[in-house]
């Protein structure tokens, strides 16, 4: 697993880096949406329906699978949010957080690693929207993915309270011998 070196930074610089990283990840989903809109306007030839048009049945099946994956990821991320908010992780959230919290002794480096992984999960939902759009060029079908992605990202805004709760959760998990 990659190590993040925050050795020469002040606590304030570390917190700013977490926020900057978070904003960049949150902006990525908006950029995906803008790119889809630009492709719709300038990238398709008249009458072209996506870059890999599918039969309606195939397209519906792919869309359904991606919606189901998005729901699973949303439930997983809600469990992570609940664990951070309550200070007590269990189940798959405990395994996920435990693996991310162990590699570094620096609390803020751990916050950066956890935030990066969580926002990556969120962005995967946005990528599903891009995939659906590229298949058939139907922009309306992508809205649910882009909106869900942004809503979930907003659940994990790295405020001082969130950062403190994440650090406290790490300490609780270490005390419990996870």
pLDDT tens, 16-49? 888 898 899 889 999 999 998 898 888 877 677 7
Q: How confident is the model at residue 144 (pLDDT cuts 50, 70, 90)?
A: very high
Which long-range CB contacts under 8 A does 16-21 form with residues at least 24 apart?
17/108, 17/112, 18/108, 18/111, 18/112, 18/115, 18/158, 18/163, 19/158, 21/112, 21/115, 21/116, 21/119
Name which of 13, 171, 157 is nearest 97 in CA terms: 171
Cβ atoms of 123 and 25 within 8 Å: the answer is: yes
Nearest Cα to Cα of residue 109 among 4, 22, 33: 4
The C-alpha atoms of residue 135 and residue 62 are separated, in whole angstroms, by 10
Give the pLDDT confidence score for residue 13 in this predicted structure: 83
Q: Is the pLDDT of residue 129 over 90?
A: yes
Give 145-159 pLDDT, tens digit per residue: 999 999 999 998 888
Cα atoms found within 13 Å of the Cα of residue 112, Cβ hemisphere only: 22
**What does the pLDDT look like over 55-83, one tens digit per residue?**
889 989 999 999 999 999 999 999 999 99
For range 99-113, the mean pLDDT: 81
């Amino acid at each position: 697993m990659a190590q993040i070196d925050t050795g020469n930074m002040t606590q304030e610089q570390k917190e700013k880096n977490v926020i900057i990283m978070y904003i960049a990840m949150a902006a990525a989903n908006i950029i995906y949406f803008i790119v889809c809109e630009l492709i719709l306007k300038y990238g398709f030839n008249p009458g072209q329906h996506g870059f890999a048009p599918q039969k309606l049945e195939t397209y519906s099946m792919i869309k359904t699978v991606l919606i189901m994956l998005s729901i699973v990821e949303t439930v997983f991320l809600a469990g992570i949010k609940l664990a951070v908010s309550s200070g007590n992780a269990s189940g798959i959230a405990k395994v996920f957080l435990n693996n991310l919290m162990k590699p570094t002794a620096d609390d803020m480096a751990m916050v950066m690693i956890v935030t990066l992984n969580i926002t990556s999960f969120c962005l995967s939902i946005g990528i599903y929207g891009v995939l659906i759009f590229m298949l058939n060029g139907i922009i309306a079908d992508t809205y649910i993915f882009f909106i869900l992605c942004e809503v979930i990202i907003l659940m994990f805004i790295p405020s001082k309270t969130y950062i403190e709760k994440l650090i406290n959760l790490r300490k609780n998990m270490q005390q419990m011998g996870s």
